[in-house]
Structure 1
Amino acid sequence: MFTSQGPSLRELAVQALSSVERGYDLLAPKFDGTPFRTPDRMLDAVEEALAQEEGSFGSGLDLCCGTGAGLGMLRRLCRDRVTGVDVSAGMLAEAARAHPEGVDLVRADALALPERLWNTYDLAVSFGAFGHFLPAERPALFGGVHRALRPGGVFAFPVGAPIPVTSPLWWAVAGFDTAMRVRNAVWRPPFVMYYRTFPFGPVRTDLERAGFTVETLPLPPFGLREDGSPRWRLLLARKPAAQYG
């Protein structure tokens, strides 16, 4: 799972016993050598879907941008400058090295985006970060993105089909989530990272309550499940053109 440039088991253990912010500061120099980085295959599929569906955008926002895997995609899709936001200074430093030009990097909590970012973007994306937010935090998260978008702006992110309970992967992620809950019950500071706290139905409801209209597009490169439904979809949450603020 990890390349030779990835972290050692000891480094991962130290990271896991830290806060989310400190943990990613520690992991940042080797993050791209881990399976946690969003795969290029996913980024390419999302870029292709957005380009076909929407064309080009003005300015773009990568929420929880990490080391900047999604920023190159945004630069190709957006006519104007793009912004990466992350709470980890270490991850932003890596993003700055990867994208020395054409990108603004802002250290901020995704739950409290700075007012200077409000009503600024035509496209917002996020990859692989939603497990860091508890269900009760989704209204603040989605409300912040809604404020950051201009009227008619789009918040886009990939969503996977539910994992059947008969799959070994279901048991793997369930075991991981259980281990994290035990860790957070006995150790401080907490490290919030869960794989099963972002189900499509409640997420869609919270997006609509935040003021978005929601639709999905299949991501064809990932194929279909046995029942004919897509393995992955691109969720498009749109801020209606008539709404401001």
Structure 2
Amino acid sequence: MLTAMFAPQGPTFRELVVQALSSVERGYDLLAPKFDRTAYRAPEPVLESVTGALRRLGPFGSGLDVCCGTGAGMGVLRQVCRESITGVDFSAGMLAVGRAHAPTAPDAPRTDWVRADARALPFGPVFDLAVSFGAFGHFEPRERPGLFAQVHSVLRPGGRFVFPIVAPARPGSRHYWSLLAFDTAMRVRNALWRPRFVMYYRTFRLAEVREELIRAGFEVELRALEELGRRADGSPRCRLVVATRTR
């Protein structure tokens, strides 16, 4: 991750520090011009695997990318939605970059970029598909039921909310300790500094998320993203959560 962060075209250490001491919204406004050259962007293998899975589930009419950032997920929607796609994010800077880099092919679905908080989506039930990539760490666990209820409210009956979720790091592994150290550092930072910057890697637990989605009115199915491989015990490295609005 550090190699990607400090690549020649990526953000400098100073820029990352300034971002980390800002609010989430202001931090991403600052990072937006270089965001696509950081390790925070959804990896291409994940995007490609999700695209393949959605092609098997679709096609879809209209799609929504929740917390779209600079539009990595919009690229997925563009391949599986026939009519329109919408990206929503509360960072004006991220939306500006996404809008500037969006393709303008004549056969592409209509594309809209909307500045709004995902906890108060400004839409009716007009979408057939909602996706999200890598944004859930910006929400406290207590906020998730409201977030899921918002996504449920903007989907048509039978609409799907789809997102990848990576298998948790094995306790005691290097990855486990690095995530624990990051989350601990963020909690200390938020206890001592304002405005808060909410970004936690270890709070989005599959069992809890599944129950919250069911309570929000979704039927939940898990699908292994086989292209991303399996761990030594045979479990998938990454699963696709497919939550269908049933009521």
Is the TM value for this pair above 0.5? Answer: yes
Seq. identity, %: 61
Which residue is 2:213 aligned to? Answer: 207
Shift of 1:75: 1.1
Q: Check conservation: 1:111, 1:140, Cα contact below 8 A.
A: yes
CA RMSD for the aligned pairs? 0.9
Give the TM-score normalised by the residue count of structure 2. Answer: 0.95
Mark the runs of 5 or more structure 2 residues left unpaired by the alignment.
Answer: 105-109
How many equivalent pairs are there?
238
1:20 counterpart letter in structure 2: V
**CA deviation digits over 1:66-123, x for unaligned, max 9?**
0001112101100111000000000000010111643100000011111xx1201000
The corresponding residue for 1:109 is 117
Contact 2:131-2:162 within 8 A present in 1 as well? yes
Structure 1 runs of 4+ aligned residues shifted over 2 Å read none
What is the alpha-carbon distance in structure 2 between the residues aligned to residue 120 and residue 59 of structure 1?
Answer: 7
Give the letter for the 1:36 counterpart.
Answer: Y
Q: In structure 2, how many angstroms separate the alpha carbons of the residues matched to 1:166 and 1:225? A: 16
> Which of 98, 111, 120 lines up with 1:95 in the alignment?
98
Q: Which residue of 2 aligns with 1:71?
A: 74
Note if contact 2:45-2:228 (Cα within 8 Å) is conserved in structure 1: no
Task: Give the letter for the 2:85 counterpart.
Answer: V
SS at match of 1:238: strand
Candidates 9, 15, 23, aligned match of 1:5: 9
Q: Indicate the SS of the match to 1:228.
A: coil
Is contact 1:4–1:33 with CA below 8 Å preserved after alignment?
A: no
Alignment of 1:1-245 (within 5 A): 1-2=4-5, 3-52=7-56, 54-99=57-102, 101=104, 102-114=110-122, 117-240=123-246, 243=247
Gaps of 5+ in 1: none
Displacement of 1:163 in angstroms is: 1.2
